[in-house]
Amino acid sequence: GDSVTQMEGPVTLSEEAFLTINCTYTATGYPSLFWYVQYPGEGLQLLLKATKADDKGSNKGFEATYRKETTSFHLEKGSVQVSDSAVYFCALSDPTNAGKSTFGDGTTLTVKP
C-alpha cells in the first residue's frame, strides 16, 4: 500500500537558518505530492504541491521538488522565520487508490528568535 515517511522531529532552528525536512514515499500508482502545514489549534492547510516528476512546488519561500528516481519530496526554505513554527505534513494522493490521501507522521518545527 501507499506510505509516506517523514524526517522525525522535532526540529528547532534559529531565525534565518536553512530548513530541510525530508520526505520519501511509496505508491502503487503515480501520485501527486503535497506539503501541508498545521498551526496550533487549526486544521491542516495546503503549503505547496507537485503533480509530476521534476515539478517544483513553491509557496511563501518554501520549495519542494518531485523526484521520481529517489521517490522523494523534501521541503526546503532558505531562511526561516519565527512565524514558520508549525507542524509540517508530507502527503500523497494516489489516483489508483480512489484518490485517497496518505500522510506522514508530521514534523514539528520551532524557530527561535
Partner 1 sequence: NAGVTQTPKFQVLKTGQSMTLQCAQDMNHEYMSWYRQDPGMGLRLIHYSVGAGITDQGEVPNGYNVSRSTTEDFPLRLLSAAPSQTSVYFCASKTVGTENSPLHFGNGTRLTVT
Shortest reach from residue 82's CB to partner 1, in Å? 22
Judge contact between 106 and 88, C-beta under 8 A.
yes
Give the DSSP H/E element, type plus range, for residue 36. strand 32-38
C-alpha cell at 108: 514539528
Residues 53 and 27 sit within 8 Å (Cβ to Cβ): no
List residues binding partner 1 (CB under 8 A).
Answer: 4, 31-32, 34, 36, 41-46, 49, 51, 89, 91, 93-95, 98-101, 103-106
Nearer to partner 1, 61 or 95 (CB): 95
Beta carbon nearer to partner 1, 45 or 79: 45
- C-beta closer to partner 1: residue 46 or 82: 46
Please, which residue, 78 or 95, has the CB nearer to partner 1?
95
Mode of pairing for the β-strands spanning 107-112 and 11-14: parallel
The contacts of residue 69 (CB under 8 Å, 6+ apart) are none
Give min distance, CB of 91 to partner 1, in A. 8
- Nearest distance, CB of residue 51 and partner 1, angstroms: 4
